[in-house]
Amino acid sequence: MKNAAIYPGSFDPLTNGHLDILERAAQMFDHIVVTIAVNNQKKGVFTGDEREALLREAIQGKEWSDKIEIQQFTGLLINYARKRGIHVLLRGVRQISDFEYEFRMALTNRRLAPEIDTLFLMPDEQLTFISATIVKEVAAWGGDLSSFVPDHVAKALQKKFRNGEVI
Ligand code: PNS
């Protein structure tokens, strides 16, 4: 598929950082498949279906939303990319500390599938400290999530925790 890319991640949950990357990518590609990994080793707070629903709601009404396809996937990313005939994987890099993991993942994927490349995008610098992990930590203790995630994600997060525990 020409001028298409895959934006993979756990999206547990989607943050404003993810949305920023997606918006930037939508200026560069005609079609972006957001793939929600539901079988990686990280145990999610949200189910695959919940993450998908949060993503769908987040892009609703965006002028670029018709470029976005959202799918859950299990297995190796490069197999999914090959099946779809897509040769670009998009990843957001916030800080140097992200780079080591991203570099290992990108080169592993390239060794497995030399025809597929990883393209790194930087989010707005105001968003570089936001991560789904930190957002969950703030949510667990009832902190204000309004500058980290869209409103509907904040509401969903608030329902997931009580006194620091997932309910
Ligand atoms: O949002 P995340 O958790 O940083 O995303 C990581 C993800 C989902 C992109 C990565 O774990 C992945 O691609 N998983 C699918 C399995 C796979 O292909 N692994 C090989 C890459 S090293």
pLDDT tens-place string over residues 113-124:
999 999 999 999
Q: Under CATH, which number does the domain 4-130 receive?
A: 3.40.50.620
Kindly list the distances between the CA atom of residue 13 and the CA atoms of 36, 37, 45, 62, 157, in Å, as whole numbers in the listed order.
Answer: 10, 12, 8, 19, 8
Task: Name the residue with higher pLDDT: 40 or 142.
Answer: 142
d(CA 36, CA 33): 9
**Model confidence at 40: pLDDT above 70:** no
Sheet holding 4-9: strands in order across? 68-73, 31-37, 4-9, 88-92, 117-121
Per DSSP, what are the bridge partners of residue 117?
88
Q: Say if ligand 1 is within 6 A of residue 44 CB.
A: no
- The residue with tokens 């999206």 is 11
For position 97, what pLDDT does the model report? 87
**Model confidence at 41: pLDDT above 80:** no
SS3 assignment, position 131:
coil
**Model confidence at 135: pLDDT above 90:** yes
For ligand 1, what atom is nearest to the CA of residue 10? 1
Neighbours of 83 (CB within 10 A): 10
CA 37 / ligand 1 centre spacing (Å):
7
**50-100 pLDDT, tens per residue?**
999 999 999 999 999 999 999 999 999 999 999 999 999 999 999 888 999
d(CA 55, CA 45): 15
For ligand 1, what atom is nearest to the CA of residue 80? 18
